[in-house]
Amino acid sequence: MDEPRGGGTDPGGRFVLHRFNGDEVYRFRSAEMWLGHATDGGPDVDAVLWFELAADDDAIQRCEDTADAGMAPTAEVGIGLAVAEADADRLVGRTFVMPGAADGEDSCMSLLYYYEHEPLRDNRITVLSRNGDRFRLRWTAVCEDVNFYDGSKPPTRVEIDGEFLFRDARA
C-alpha cells in the first residue's frame, strides 16, 4: 500500500472501511476539525467540535462488490463541549466518545456517507498530537455495511488515522 500523504496542503492519513469481504482503503481528500457555536446542546454545551473527513476519489484499495461504483466516503461527527473545554490548546491527549444514534434512529451529529447517509456509532476520537493548526487523530466507529443496508452483513468497522486542519469558527 501507498504511504499517506502529508505536509503542504494535502492532509496525510488513511480512511479504512473494514468490511465483511475485505478492506477499502482511502487517502484523505480533506480533513477538518472546527469549533462552532452550539445551537441546541443543552445547558452545559456552549460549543460543538466537528470532525469532517472526505476520502480521495482515487482509492488505494476497494472491495470487489463496490469497486465499479467508485465511491469516496465521507464521515462527520459533532461533539458538544462546555466553553471551558473548547480550547485548541487543551485538545491533545483527549479522547471524545460519541455513541451515535440508537439502532433504527437517524443522527445528524454522527454520519458516514457512501451510497447514502448512515449513522456512525461507537465513535472514539483521540487527539494524538498537534503541529500548528494540524492535529493528528485516531478515530474509530462502526456503521451498517456500506453496500448492504439490510442488516444481512456484519457492521463495517471504520478506522481513521491522520492529520486534520483545525479552525475556530466561533469568532
- Look at residue 8 in the predicted model and tell me its pLDDT: 41
Return the C-alpha cell found at 22. 475485505
Interval 108-133: pLDDT, tens: 788 999 998 889 999 999 999 999 99
Chain-centroid distance of CA 125 in Å reads 8
Segments of 21-106 assigned E as strands: 22-37, 47-55, 74-81, 95-98
Rg of the chain over CA atoms, in angstroms?
16
Return the C-alpha cell found at 103. 439502532
Q: State residue 124 phi and psi, 5-degree precision.
A: -130, 115
Q: How confident is the model at residue 54 (pLDDT cuts 50, 70, 90)?
A: very high
What count of residues does the chain have?
Answer: 171
Interval 59-89: pLDDT, tens: 999 999 999 999 999 999 999 888 778 888 9
CB environment 94-124: b (16+ within 10 A), e (fewer): eebebebeeeeeebebbbbbbeeebbbbbbe
Residue with the larger pLDDT of the pair 12 and 161: 161
Nearest to 144 by CA among 93, 110, 109, 97: 110
Q: What's the whole-number average pLDDT of the chain?
A: 87
Section 145-160 average pLDDT: 94
Q: Which amino acid is at 69?
A: A
Return the C-alpha cell found at 169. 469558527
